[in-house]
């Protein structure tokens, strides 16, 4: 039987088999949650954190800075030592 002309649909099992080896389980991210003591907004806490800890000057490799729904900040890094540096400041 000749294949039909047009777009071929991929089966889910074929796609899942190919992507199974692509997931980097070894690269786990360390996380640090930052919460304001005086119930300040997350935007203010972000600007305060960026002014105190300059990632370029301290050469910290922060991978992500996310704002959560409850007003906390989530800092992610591949190395725990970089997050401990932020805690000291």
Model pLDDT for residues 13-58, shown as the tens digit of each residue: 777 766 555 555 556 778 888 888 888 888 998 888 888 877 666 6
Model pLDDT for residues 5-15, shown as the tens digit of each residue: 566 777 777 77
Q: Compute the distance between CA of residue 8 and CA of residue 35 in angstroms, rounded to an integer.
A: 50
Retrieve residue 12's tokens. Answer: 């889910």
Query: What pLDDT score was predicted for residue 78?
Result: 81
Retrieve residue 86's tokens. Answer: 């932020």
Retrieve residue 6's tokens. Answer: 């047009």
Q: Compute the distance between CA of residue 86 and CA of residue 76 in angstroms, rounded to an integer.
A: 11
Q: How many helices (H) and strands (E) does the chain have?
A: 4, 3
Query: pTM of whole model > 0.75?
Result: no
Query: What pLDDT score was predicted for residue 56?
Result: 67
């Amino acid at each position: 039987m000749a294949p039909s002309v047009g777009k071929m649909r991929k089966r889910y099992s074929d796609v899942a088999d190919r992507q199974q080896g692509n997931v980097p389980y070894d690269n786990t991210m360390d996380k640090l949650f930052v919460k304001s003591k005086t119930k300040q907004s997350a935007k203010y806490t972000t600007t305060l954190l960026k002014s105190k800890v300059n990632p370029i000057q301290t050469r910290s490799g922060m991978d992500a800075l996310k704002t959560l729904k409850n007003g906390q900040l989530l800092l992610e890094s591949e190395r725990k030592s970089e997050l401990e540096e932020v805690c000291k400041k």
